[in-house]
Amino acid sequence: MKSNGIGRILSIARIELIKYFRQPMVIVFAVVFPGFWIIMNGLMYGNDPSPLFKGIGTIDYMLPAYSFLIILVTGLSSLPQTMAKNIETGVIRRYAYTPIKKHEFLLGIILGNIIASSISLMVLFSIALIKYDVAVPIRVSSILLFIITFMFISVGICSFGLMIANIVKGFQSALSVSLLIYFALLFLSGCSVPLEILPKGFQDVTSYIPFTHMVRFLQNIWLERSEKMGLYCGSTIIFSLLFIALSIKSFKWVKR
């Protein structure tokens, strides 16, 4: 590995990126599934203005939510499994005897996964733009804010996944916990199925879930809306920073 800190971070990121795209199931769920899901919804609902979404087309409305779906696949499906397996097999322990520092190692892992998520995001948006001519924010600042928010949420969710791998003992246990949370959030956050079609009581419950706020925040930015923006922004920042802090706190080279 390169001797400087940035070089070590980039080396770890490159390794993570290679491992990420060597997993066929991850490629299916992170790259193929979001594109397939948007096409399926396009065939069922089209992208004509819908009264359910206050005159916004289904694909226009759900595209930012599907972005969060990509983040979930990376941060709560792929990353915890890989990390837990490396901990159990002693791969992580070997890094303790190298010049790399803990924060460099964690940054490298997160950077690699963010790059992978960004590649999946570009595939998703390419399909949406070419096939459904989705509406693009009028202001360039909204597009830039969306990208920054996507990156920031990715860091938070990846940190959440790292925390699970660090505190749950054993690969199988970490796998079970991460997948349980992943599948629950597919429906509770509104990133795969619009919450608007679900019963009112269910919508009321999900309104208190911070992950739902992250989805709403991405939607508000992309659609250039201001509804509850302070709540969604504040919740996203607080919980992402909390996950980052907990992942750093819980990480150890040698798990006891």
Q: How far is CA 93 from CA 69, 195, 247, 255, in A?
A: 31, 43, 17, 9
Mean pLDDT for the stretch of residues 139-148 = 93
**What's residue 63's pLDDT?**
92
Mean pLDDT for the stretch of residues 196-200 = 86
What gap in Å lies between CA 56 and CA 160, rounded to an integer?
Answer: 32
User: Residue ranges per domain, the chain?
Assistant: 5-250
- Angle between helix axes 5-20 and 79-89 (nearest 10 degrees) is 110
pLDDT tens profile 2-12: 457 788 889 88
Are 100 and 7 contacting, i.e. CB atoms less than 8 angstroms apart? Answer: no
C-alpha distance across the termini of the chain, in Å: 27
Strand partners for 57: 49
**What's residue 34's pLDDT?**
80
Mean pLDDT for the stretch of residues 228-235 = 94
Determine which helix (DSSP H) or strand (DSSP E) holds 49, and give its type and residue range.
strand 49-50
Mean pLDDT for the stretch of residues 149-160 = 95
Are 68 and 215 contacting, i.e. CB atoms less than 8 angstroms apart? Answer: yes
For residue 87, name the pLDDT band (cuts at 50, 70, 90). Answer: confident
For residue 23, name the pLDDT band (cuts at 50, 70, 90). Answer: confident
Of 234, 225, 244, which is closest to residue 64 (Cα–Cα)?
225
Strand partners for 49: 57
What gap in Å lies between CA 108 and CA 83, rounded to an integer?
Answer: 13
Q: Which residues 6+ apart lie within 8 Å of 183 measured at CB? A: none
Are 71 and 154 contacting, i.e. CB atoms less than 8 angstroms apart? Answer: yes
What is the reported pTM? Answer: 0.90
State yes or no: pLDDT of 242 exceeds 90: yes
Of 15, 146, 153, which is closest to residue 71 (Cα–Cα)?
153
State yes or no: pLDDT of 88 exceeds 80: yes
